[in-house]
């Protein structure tokens, strides 16, 4: 599957694994994590919330649906959803604006350590936009966090 970043998610993860960034081997310092903080929305069915956590990293929560805007589907209870909530260490956030991670019930993992059915999310902060791509394993059928998110006003 070709991603919106011009490469497959697997290639992106391989590049990160080769540099050791997501594993913390090459710690990145002086990244302004406050730039990531906010409520972000890509559509009425896709939201990501990011806050600073108590350990100096980021707390991320996401909620996405598929079919919630279809009244017939909603009436039948046929809306699919996905969500995540996790904390990532500050050194997983790269100086070039990338953050890639996997979400598992027992906590986050670097993206390259994910298994086949783990939810993997790649985020890139581009000024006032947050671009996301996932591996389609972050919720029910057709649910995705992939999109371009705008920061919502306070």
Residue pLDDT, tens place only, 15-55: 333 334 444 444 445 689 999 999 999 999 999 999 999 99
Position 1 in a domain: no
pLDDT at position 14 over 80? no
Lowest mean pLDDT among 3-12, 27-36, 65-74: 3-12
Total number of domains in the chain? 1
What DSSP character marks residue 114? -
Position 2 in a domain: no
Q: What is the pLDDT of residue 111?
A: 96
What DSSP character marks residue 10? H
Angle, CA of 128, 64 and 31, to the nearest 5°: 35
What is the arithmetic mean of pLDDT over 44-67? 95
pLDDT at position 13 over 90? no
Position 4 in a domain: no
The fraction of the chain above a pLDDT of 70, given in percent, is: 81
Please tell me which residue, 16 or 112, carries the higher pLDDT value: 112
Q: What is the pLDDT of residue 8?
A: 39
Position 123 in a domain: yes
Q: Are 39 and 47 in contact (CB under 8 A)?
A: yes
What is the arithmetic mean of pLDDT over 87-101? 96
* CA distance linking residue 34 with residue 1, whole number of Å: 32
Position 3 in a domain: no
Q: Are 46 and 136 in contact (CB under 8 A)?
A: no
Position 135 in a domain: yes
Q: What is the pLDDT of residue 30?
A: 61
CA–CA distances in Å: residue 130 to residues 17, 37, 43, 99, 148: 22, 11, 13, 11, 6
Domain of residue 30: give its range: 9-151
Q: What is the pLDDT of residue 148?
A: 98
């Amino acid at each position: 599957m070709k991603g919106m970043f011009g490469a497959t998610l697997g290639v992106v993860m391989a590049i990160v694994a080769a540099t050791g960034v997501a594993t913390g081997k090459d710690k990145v310092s002086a990244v302004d994590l406050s730039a990531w903080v906010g409520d972000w929305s890509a559509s009425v069915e896709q939201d990501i919330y990011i806050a600073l956590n108590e350990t100096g990293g980021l707390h991320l929560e996401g909620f996405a649906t598929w079919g919630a805007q279809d009244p017939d589907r909603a009436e039948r209870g046929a809306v699919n959803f996905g969500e995540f909530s996790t904390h990532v260490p500050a050194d997983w956030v790269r100086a070039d604006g990338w953050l890639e991670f996997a979400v598992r019930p027992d906590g986050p993992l670097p993206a390259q350590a994910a298994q086949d059915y783990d939810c993997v999310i790649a985020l890139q902060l581009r000024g006032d936009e947050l671009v996301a791509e996932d591996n389609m394993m972050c919720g029910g059928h057709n649910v995705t966090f992939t999109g371009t998110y705008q920061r919502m006003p306070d």
